[in-house]
Amino acid sequence: MKKIALEIRDLSIGHKGTPLYTDITFDIYEGDCILLCGANGSGKTTLLKSLAELKRDTEIVMIPTRIPKVKGFTLREFIHLSCNRYSHADPEHGMSLLSISSLADRDISTLSDGEFQKGTIAAALARHAGIILLDEPTAFLDAGNRRMVLRTLREICEETSVSVVFSSHDLHESISVCNKVLALGADGIFRCSENDLEATISSIFTKH
């Protein structure tokens, strides 16, 4: 039976002093791959940031929407720099888990956007993250790289005890890799579902 990685109880979130949602309650289990969806401005990024700031026993790492690919750094150097404040980090372990060790000495400016996104995820794994939060990890990617990143997220959850929560507007593709949906409705109602994921997603875009 899967263990609970993080319990969220009665969480309230807002933006610039405006309350968005209250009484957010759900559990993240080890190995969960969770899609966070909602309309623009619904509070997806705010919720991810709130989860990252919760007190917990497991390491939580949040990856923002876009990290610049700065010329002059190899992927190995980028991951080391991302982890330099964490004495327990193991960059080689992170790259090995995602099978990207062959890219380690490539300048990150020469990597495809999908390869670089895998590098940012490897940096999180290098910190032995128990939960990885990703804000629109497939944004700005072409179809091939979107599929690569989504497949990577699914494989992480299937092959390790790491849990992933990611927001996305690519709902059709994203739903194929997740086992749970968190939906932020325009009506101020938070929904969490492990069953009939498509209906849950549809409900947040339906006017009541």
Residue 207, pLDDT > 90, answer: no
- What the block records as the tokens of 161 is 């005890």
Over residues 79-85, the mean pLDDT reads 88
Query: Which residue range(s) make up the domain with 174?
Result: 4-204
CA 167 to CA 169: how far, in whole Å?
7
CA 18 to CA 57: how far, in whole Å?
30
| pLDDT value at residue 19 | 84
CA 200 to CA 192: how far, in whole Å?
8
Residue 201, pLDDT > 80, answer: no
100 pLDDT band, cuts 50/70/90, is: very high
Domain count, the chain: 1
Q: Which residues pair with 180 in a beta bridge?
A: 34
Model confidence, pTM: 0.90
Mean pLDDT is lowest, of 78-87, 149-158, 183-192, for 183-192
Among 40-44, 83-87, 197-201, the range of highest mean pLDDT: 40-44
What's the CATH number where 50 sits?
A: 3.40.50.300
| pLDDT value at residue 206 | 57
Give percent of the chain with pLDDT exceeding 90: 66
- What the block records as the tokens of 47 is 């919720």
Pairing of strands 4-15, 60-63: unpaired
Over residues 116-130, the mean pLDDT reads 94
| pLDDT value at residue 208 | 45
State the amino acid at position 54 in one-letter form.
L
CA 7 to CA 109: how far, in whole Å?
39
| pLDDT value at residue 28 | 95
Specify the residue for token string 């969480």: 11
Q: Is 129 helix (H, G, I), strand (E, B) or coil?
A: coil
DSSP state of 124: H
User: What b/e sequence results for 86-109 when a residue is b if at least 16 CB atoms lie within 10 Å of its CB, and e otherwise?
Assistant: eeebbbeebbebbebeebbebebe
